[in-house]
Structure 1
Amino acid sequence: MSLYQYLPLRDGEIRLTKLEDISCDPSDVTPAITIIKKQLKDAKGTYEALSYAWGNSNHRRPLPCGDGCYLWAGENLHSALRNLVRRRRQDPSLSSNWVWIDAICINQDDDVEKNRQVAMMRSIYRSSVGTVAYLGEEENDSRLAMGYIRGVKNKAAQAWIEWLRSTDVAAVVKAQYPAMEHDKEFIKEAIRMEESRSFNEILAELGSSDWKMFGALLPEKHRILRGIALLAARPYFQRTWVIQEMAVAQKTILYCGTDHCDLAFMAGLFGNTFRPAGIRLADYVDDATRTDLYRGVAQLLMAFSLSTKIRDGEHRSLFQLLQSSRAAQVTHAVDKVYALLGLCVDFEEFPVDYGKSKVDTYIDLAKQLIQHGQGDDLLYEAARSDHSSSECPSWVPDWTKMPIRTNLGCTLSSTAKWYCDASGVLKRRTQDYRNPPLRMKLLCRGKKLVTEGAIVQKILVLGSAPPPAEQVSATSNAAHLANILDDLSTFKDRLSKRVYPPTGQPIDTALATILEGDQPHNTIGLTNWNEEPSSRSILYEIDKHELQQQSGKRRYGFAEALHQRNFTAIENMAKATVGRRVAVTNKSFVALVPAGTQRGDQICILQGALVPFVLRPCGDGYILVGDCYVHGMMLGEMFSKEEKQPEMQEIIIK
């Protein structure tokens, strides 16, 4: 056989594949395909889109594609095609005759074609009858888990039908459609008239007891929840492309082998049933799998939320999408950007160019974000990851690096009842005014960023460093938080005064405030951590019992102040300290600084910035280490004192 030769595509054309079985053994499957070209507008509604994880490209199999030709298919794609054939054997009504498959329908060796086809991806998935999301072969109780999800869906749907029939919605539907007899027709019309809020309430009611959730399957509860957790931890949910593929699809069905369940309902269980019921899926997997679980659940919930917003006509900016998908993975680094272009409204014309390097693509995007007035957010986001091993300049977010700390630049201040205001430029501080009119002065010079700021202090003493970690969820742990408590307690013991010198506050009150980063309670402090609230809580899970045990072994002089600020509000402390360590400056200010901070690094307040930054001198400029919380300079105090104020100077960040 010879390698298949692609023919060029005309404008607006796509390729589709017809899946066949050429095995002579009825008990076996040997997938083969036929490839055709068709105008997308003419193909609408005639094909399914296959979504899957590419997997290891070193393990490939030949895939016959007619006329004695073949294409190479990765192991996971080959597995998906085999099971699609089996699915069609079991129930032909489940399958379309034609399937769009990215690895086959796009010539992967032609960058020009890739550029054009990737720009069409949203339309390709939107025009399909639905998306088949292939998670991999059946294993780890996946059949039990998917069967449970289907069963609960049927149970919840029946309860919803009964509720709808008892409401005014039912009366209106019956009056307009008196001949309506079938539940499917009733539901379709009722959904059009009634938001899904009521269905979510039914899902929450399921979580009110184990019996309602599991019924006769209660003895299998552990196996079911472990199976569901391992489904969410599969590589499929780690992919950036999944977000668009699931968000714009008409519907998405998840498959393991030939077994299946509905994506939307699985997401509904996570957000509306398991969480209110206090079910922690992390308890059902080992430590090595937990990070993948956090990441997978966050991606799944975000994609489902986006699909709802898209249907309602809402959209997010590219920057917001990039922020909320930093934990997702790609085969090609540039796809961290390209995979999201179809979901945004502000960067739809950003050029797709697979001939451009990761660094050049990220720098070009950063420059455009600055031109769009999002430069300050850009620096806050760049501060969330470690640039020591990145090829990108320190002021450019490396979107392939997962965040290892939170974004203090969008954290609410309990003291100010508003955002932090380190540079002292905010004039209005009301909760109703959520878009403060300030911008840093930013100018790009090649790969350098020129801005203005004041170097105010230096790092003199550093506390314990957190354990190495790849992302936020892995660094939020009770042991490190207990070490920070120790470091703050040590600072207090060495301070002869009973007040915190920079502010004059009682030392216990000041240290308790530092521990929480001055965040208020009963509010979501990180307004641009764009995962849905349910996934945000999962990402910041911390074992409260373990922390209480750790703190119980020590005597903290400021424990009473912590209790007054609601010591059980562990989430605030986790957010403030994750990926950070305690530091003391040359003027006795106590700070929470990035884990990679070194003695001699400098505290800088950039003009227009909400929070201070840690900078490291480097030749004629500085390296951005990250943002920091410095108690006593978060609300413009350095620029409001009567004594000489810090002088602004040109700051070059490399």
Structure 2
Amino acid sequence: MPASNFPYRYGQKDRNQIRLIRLFPGKTHHDICVDINRVYASSNPTYEALSYAWGDPDHIGRSRGTTISYESKFYNKGVLLISRNLASAFRHLRNLKEVRTLWIDAISINQGDIEERSEEVAKMGSIYSNAWRVIVWLGSSSEDSALALQTLSNIQEDIDFVERDGNHTFTASGATRELERSPSAWRTKVLSWIAIRNLLNRPWFGRLWIFQEIGNAANAVVVVGKDAMPWETLRVAVFWILHMTEGKAPLCDVFDAAYLRQIEPLMKENRGRALERLLDSTKKSLCSNPRDRIYAVLSLLHKHDPIAEAIIPDYSRSVEEVYTKLTLSQIQTSGKLRLLSLCTFRNPKSTLNLHSWVPDLSIPNLLESILNSNASGLSTHENDPGLDYHDSKKSLKIRGCVAGVINEVLTPIEPSARLP
């Protein structure tokens, strides 16, 4: 039977192994052909890891251009359907004469095996950090993508960027300095700003998993079609644009300031951040599985953070179980109640049945977080809360002070309600 007539079947692999993909050379119109190899991570294999937007699962191609022929020395030959975006990435990334070795989550992990998926997700942080380079695939080129990349590169070249302890400063020179001084200079480059806006609106920037993929990368490159630029170039230029859109025209007329603030955390150093900060800064990013709200940021925690060892990805658990275990583990290992600051106004669209003390991370909260609210209790907020959890009652008791008595509870106000 020809390989194209039956699907590729994954075989078993050792827990200490990863699957690497060898992308064979070819021209744009050639079929995509790869080879899957199992290798031990301890052998320090050389590979690049792909960071990309999976795309809508309803848009899976079945044409010649969106199937892969596998020639695996371990298993049978076969065909696997992939998304159009991944097919486009293969066509643009493959070399003309040399094989390219890649790790790609959609293929390197048997997504149909829940146990394997749980094991591999737990290793993804190290997989991306051990890659010699992470490729950020933003998609095929467009009529203005080259202009966007060139403008971002020009901005970065003119900026002396200093980052220390989460803070950053800019010293601009050349044409970029002139842009800072003269609002009229902005208007002469309006097409450039629109091009950058279009680039930043690509689906990749809205994904949740990119935080750990780029956060763990030792070296990263941004690729659009056949054009490429270092991730650091884009990062510095976007920081500068964020700085220049703080209530200043005319950039505010081009860029959506709220959206820029949403992607701003991606540009920061996220490794070693507190769990509640990571969960809050990624709450508007997209993922298909609500469990990934937690699993996608675990590798960014400090290596000595006990919660990183307490939470092991397990897709066989219900979402409610995953969220409850996270809350209890975080409080029990840290002795702090900071995670409860995310238990604010629950989104009415949520279908989860959670206790009031378990944050619902499945849908972005309609209210801004209160993580930065240093109220009068700040002097004691790090004290031992005297945690007492009753599993039979599903209740969480803590020590506190009586501040008053509740005499009446009114009907909850709907999120869409307007003040009189």
Match of 2:50 in 1: 50
- In structure 1, how many angstroms separate the alpha carbons of the residues matched to 2:124 and 2:166? 30
Alignment of 1:398 onto 2:360: yes
Map Cα deviations across residues 386-426 of structure 1 (whole Å, 9 max, x no partner). Answer: 256341323211112212223446413xxxxxx234xxxx7
Conserved in 1, the CA contact under 8 Å of 2:7 and 2:79?
yes
Alignment of 1:456 onto 2:406: yes
Alignment of 1:366 onto 2:322: no
Conserved in 1, the CA contact under 8 Å of 2:340 and 2:358?
yes
TM-score normalised by length of structure 2: 0.81
Aligned in 2, Cα 1:206/1:402: closer, same or farther, shift over 3 Å? farther
Q: Give 1:249 deviation, angstroms.
A: 0.4
2:34 aligns to what SS in structure 1? strand
Match of 1:17 in 2: 21
Match of 2:207 in 1: 239
Alignment of 1:420 onto 2:376: yes
Aligned in 2, Cα 1:375/1:400: closer, same or farther, shift over 3 Å? farther
Q: Give 1:42 deviation, angstroms.
A: 2.0
Q: Give 1:84 deviation, angstroms.
A: 1.0
Match of 1:84 in 2: 93
Alignment of 1:268 onto 2:236: yes
Match of 2:264 in 1: 298
Conserved in 2, the CA contact under 8 Å of 1:48 and 1:96?
no
Conserved in 2, the CA contact under 8 Å of 1:135 and 1:234?
yes
Conserved in 1, the CA contact under 8 Å of 2:8 and 2:80?
yes
Match of 1:100 in 2: 103
TM-score normalised by length of structure 1: 0.54
- In structure 1, how many angstroms separate the alpha carbons of the residues matched to 2:183 and 2:44? 42
Aligned in 2, Cα 1:405/1:197: closer, same or farther, shift over 3 Å? closer
Map Cα deviations across residues 625-650 of structure 1 (whole Å, 9 max, x no partner). Answer: xxxxxxxxxxxxxxxxxxxxxxxxxx
1:209 aligns to what SS in structure 2? helix
Match of 2:340 in 1: 379
Alignment of 1:73 onto 2:82: yes
Q: Give 1:103 deviation, angstroms.
A: 0.6
Match of 1:30 in 2: 31
- In structure 1, how many angstroms separate the alpha carbons of the residues matched to 2:339 and 2:11? 42
Q: Give 1:273 deviation, angstroms.
A: 5.1
Q: Give 1:283 deviation, angstroms.
A: 2.7
Aligned in 2, Cα 1:329/1:73: closer, same or farther, shift over 3 Å? same
Q: Give 1:246 deviation, angstroms.
A: 0.3
- In structure 2, how many angstroms separate the alpha carbons of the residues matched to 1:273 and 1:337? 30
- In structure 1, how many angstroms separate the alpha carbons of the residues matched to 2:388 and 2:213? 35
Match of 1:329 in 2: 286
1:281-296 aligned at under 5 Å gives the runs 283-284=253-254, 292-295=259-262
- In structure 2, how many angstroms separate the alpha carbons of the residues matched to 1:206 and 1:444? 64
Conserved in 2, the CA contact under 8 Å of 1:327 and 1:402?
yes
Q: Which moved more, 1:5-14 or 1:444-453?
A: 444-453
Q: Give 1:211 deviation, angstroms.
A: 7.5
Q: Percentage identity across aligned positions?
A: 24
Q: Give 2:295's match in structure 1, choosing from 324, 334, 338.
A: 338
Conserved in 2, the CA contact under 8 Å of 1:375 and 1:440?
no
Match of 2:148 in 1: 145
- In structure 1, how many angstroms separate the alpha carbons of the residues matched to 2:196 and 2:341? 35
C-alpha root-mean-square deviation of aligned residues, in Å?
3.6
Q: Give 1:261 deviation, angstroms.
A: 2.5
Q: Give 1:151 deviation, angstroms.
A: 2.9
Letter matched to residue 201 of structure 1 = F
Q: Give 2:307's match in structure 1, choosing from 331, 347, 360.
A: 347
Match of 1:113 in 2: 116
Q: Give 1:155 deviation, angstroms.
A: 4.3
- In structure 2, how many angstroms separate the alpha carbons of the residues matched to 1:213 and 1:99? 46
Q: Give 1:277 deviation, angstroms.
A: 6.6
Conserved in 2, the CA contact under 8 Å of 1:225 and 1:284?
yes
Aligned in 2, Cα 1:211/1:335: closer, same or farther, shift over 3 Å? closer
- In structure 2, how many angstroms separate the alpha carbons of the residues matched to 1:332 and 1:198? 33
Map Cα deviations across residues 279-299 of structure 1 (whole Å, 9 max, x no partner). Answer: 5765325xxx7765543x234
Map Cα deviations across residues 415-471 of structure 1 (whole Å, 9 max, x no partner). Answer: xxxx234xxxx7x5xxxxx854263755343573343765424466999x7648xxx
1:185-584 aligned at under 5 Å gives the runs 200-203=169-172, 208-210=177-179, 221-272=189-240, 274-276=242-244, 278=246, 283-284=253-254, 292-295=259-262, 297-301=263-267, 304-306=268-270, 310=271, 315-344=272-301, 345-349=305-309, 350-373=311-334, 376-386=337-347, 389-393=350-354, 394-408=356-370, 410-412=372-374, 419-421=375-377, 428=379, 436-437=382-383, 439=385, 443-446=389-392, 448-451=394-397, 455-458=405-408, 467=416
1:3 aligns to what SS in structure 2? coil
Conserved in 2, the CA contact under 8 Å of 1:138 and 1:257?
yes
Q: Give 1:98 deviation, angstroms.
A: 0.4
Alignment of 1:3 onto 2:11: no
Letter matched to residue 111 of structure 2 = Q
Aligned residues: 396
Q: Give 1:13 deviation, angstroms.
A: 0.9
- In structure 1, how many angstroms separate the alpha carbons of the residues matched to 2:243 and 2:80? 45
- In structure 2, how many angstroms separate the alpha carbons of the residues matched to 1:54 and 1:228? 22
Conserved in 2, the CA contact under 8 Å of 1:150 and 1:262?
no
Conserved in 2, the CA contact under 8 Å of 1:229 and 1:282?
no
